[in-house]
Amino acid sequence: MVQLIYYSALFVLSLLLSLLYVCLWRRQFDVHMTAVFLLLPISNLAYLLIYANPDSVAVTALMKVVYLCGCLLPWLAMMCVMGLCRIRVSRLVRMGSLLVSTAVFCTVLTVGHSPLFYRSLEIERVGDAWVMIKRYGPAHVLHYICVVLYLAASLAAILYSYRKKKQVSRRILLLLFMPIPVSTMGYFAGHRLAGLGFEFMPVSYVFSQLLYLLIAQRMVLYNVSEMVIESMVQAGETGFITVDAKGRYLGSNGSAKRFLPALRNLTVDRPVADEPAMRQTVLAWIERFRKDPTDDKFLYTRVGTDGEEDRIYAIDVNDLYDGRRRCGCQIFLQDDTEKQKYIRLLDRYNSDLQAEVAAKTERIVVMHDRLILGMAAMVESRDNSTGGHIRRTSEGVRILVETMRADGAELSDAFCKNLIKAAPMHDLGKIAVDDAVLRKPGRFTPEEFEKMKAHAAEGARIVHEILQDTDDEDFRRIAENVAHYHHERMDGSGYPDGLRGDEIPLEARIMAIADVYDALVSKRVYKESFSFEKADRIILEGMGPQFDPSLRETYEHARPKLEEYYTRERARA
């Protein structure tokens, strides 16, 4: 019973590891490793069947299956080691060694008919266990010789690669070495356990599978890099460098080593930071990319030595993926020297013209802005209840949009700049309101309020007339919206068009908060200034029916800065 549990468990583990390998398999995997994962579960199944059905005829047949793996596995393991160590094996040696292993297996097929491989093979009951009694023949010595030669060749290849080949992963070399002593124990020392009815070889097979599975998992990184590198090599003069998620060097192509000679000193799987020159280039580029993933394209100038010309490289940093899993960084380098020379030549020819155009444009913009502010100030001078309103509301808008961006809102620089610039224009329509209404020192009657409400639509018309020939369409649209809709309410009860919710442009929703807040905390002819606490309570109560509730958090975060600003304004007054 214990024997069956032992061999069943080993077979199930072997089968599961092979299935995991199938899930991990890539087309670029070594064919010899794939053959190993195919043969080992078959061999472990044969062991299980031997002890599950201890019939002498069945045992003889199943032992031949066991030795199919026993004869071919050392050769497959050796070829796998050679491939992973990037050691080229000639076709003659490969085919010759395979023929020898095949010949040894052919002698296994004589078991039961000839004493060539086994003089005798019997299975006996010893206590509660079945034990195989084996007497080896002369061909079995040849099998041991092959095993020793293949294991020795594998060990030599691993040691040679560790000392001489920097482009071979040290981690993979360690994983390749570990099955050798275990396999040696299985082949040459396992007979002691076999005398108790427990073969050691199935354990060594499962152990080897586990290690090869770890190698395959690591190879995914390298194979991804090699495929991409090969593609880049075929595409042209592009350098390529790969680094894993922990900053360890995975590989690079010849162009990259030519662009950055210090790459030749790097060993695969060693941290990039180990090489001083790499800390200033590759590592710095990766850290720059990690801080800001949008900052993934830039230029790098390599200063020439011994009279060599400076070279300019275009750097492109990206994440390296294994399927959907991010596993490191990949860096592309292209020699951009000639292109940059041409660009600099054009820049030199155009710099004077650009400077002159920029200066004239700046003067026009300044004049345009002063005209807008002058008109707004002229309107405000007619309204004896809102002194300083356009200046204060402009500052309130600035505080709100800066807070929104600090909270993570995706507002472009152009939008924020245009909105702050447009804020003083929100009440331009009051220029069309009769003085008797506009300058009234008290609250409006319903009829007067209707006349005052007309300033929103009139303001949009005036802004449109002023800015209709401007090249800045975004600014014109934002300025019109601010003037037109800053008195709209989220519940649709505002004016002039009764818009509700998201129908109201964002710029007008922001302007509405700044406009009402200033009206609350500032002194008017018809009221004293409210305290900050009362104004805050009114604004928060209006979140939903009057103001955009999605701006509630922005307002709450901006409140300390608003109160600080208006405290200074009150002190100055």
Reported as a single tens digit per residue, the pLDDT across 504-514 is 999 999 999 99
List where CATH 1.20.1070 sits in the chain: 2-218
Q: Are 465 and 371 in contact (CB under 8 A)?
A: no
Q: What percent of the chain is predicted at pLDDT more than 70?
A: 88
pLDDT tier at 376, thresholds 50, 70, 90: low
Q: Check pLDDT > 90 for residue 372.
A: no
Give residue 164's pLDDT. 85
Give residue 28's pLDDT. 67
Give residue 43's pLDDT. 87
DSSP assignment letter at 304: P
Q: Which helix (H) or strand (E) holds 456?
A: helix 455-467
B/e letters for 242-266, b = 16+ CB within 10 Å, e = fewer, are bbbeebbbbbbbebbbebbeebeeb
We find that the CATH architecture of domain 354-572 is Orthogonal Bundle (1.10)
**pLDDT mean over 147-155:** 90
**Could you tell me which residue, 215 or 364, shows the higher pLDDT?**
215
Q: Check pLDDT > 80 for residue 407.
A: yes
List where CATH 1.10.3210.10 sits in the chain: 354-572
Q: Is 401 left (phi over 0), alpha (psi -120 to 50) or beta?
A: alpha
Give residue 207's pLDDT. 87
Q: Check pLDDT > 70 for residue 184.
A: yes
Give residue 522's pLDDT. 87
Opening angle at CA 61, ends 55 and 66, nearest 5: 110
Q: What is the mean pLDDT of the chain?
A: 83
Q: Is the peptide bond before 271 cis (omega within 30 degrees of 0)?
A: no
pLDDT tier at 230, thresholds 50, 70, 90: low
Q: Which of 108-122, 146-160, 240-254, 401-415 has the least mean pLDDT?
A: 108-122
**pLDDT mean over 392-400:** 92
Give residue 573's pLDDT. 64
Out of 3.30.450.20, 3.40.50.2000, 3.40.50.300, 3.40.190.10, the CATH code matching 236-335 is 3.30.450.20
Q: Check pLDDT > 90 for residue 397.
A: yes
Reported as a single tens digit per residue, the pLDDT across 108-137 is 888 888 888 888 877 777 666 677 777 888
Rounded to whole angstroms, the Cα distance separating 15 from 37 reads 9
CATH number of 2-218: 1.20.1070
Neighbours of 89 (CB within 10 A): 15
Most confident of the ranges 3-12, 277-286, 499-508:
499-508
pLDDT tier at 187, thresholds 50, 70, 90: low
List where CATH 3.30.450.20 sits in the chain: 236-335
Give residue 529's pLDDT. 86
Q: Check pLDDT > 70 for residue 334.
A: yes
Q: Check pLDDT > 90 for residue 480.
A: yes
Opening angle at CA 196, ends 195 and 199, nearest 5: 75
Q: Is residue 315 helix, strand or coil?
A: strand
Give residue 444's pLDDT. 78
Q: Which of 75-84, 124-133, 136-145 has the least mean pLDDT?
A: 124-133
Query: At residue 321, what is the residue type?
Result: Y
Q: Check pLDDT > 70 for residue 231.
A: no
With 0-12 CB in 10 A as exposed, 13-18 as middle and 19+ as buried, what is 40? Answer: buried
pLDDT tier at 165, thresholds 50, 70, 90: confident
Reported as a single tens digit per residue, the pLDDT across 522-564 is 887 667 889 999 999 999 999 999 999 999 999 999 999 999 9
Rounded to whole angstroms, the Cα distance separating 64 from 46 reads 9
With 0-12 CB in 10 A as exposed, 13-18 as middle and 19+ as buried, what is 83? Answer: middle
Q: Tokens in use for 260?
A: 């950055």
Give residue 125's pLDDT. 72
Q: Tokens in use for 329?
A: 């960084």
Q: Which helix (H) or strand (E) holds 334?
A: strand 325-335
**Model confidence pTM above 0.85:** no
Give residue 110's pLDDT. 87
Reported as a single tens digit per residue, the pLDDT across 295-329 is 889 999 888 777 678 888 999 999 988 766 788 99
Reported as a single tens digit per residue, the pLDDT across 420-454 is 988 988 888 887 787 777 767 777 788 888 888 88
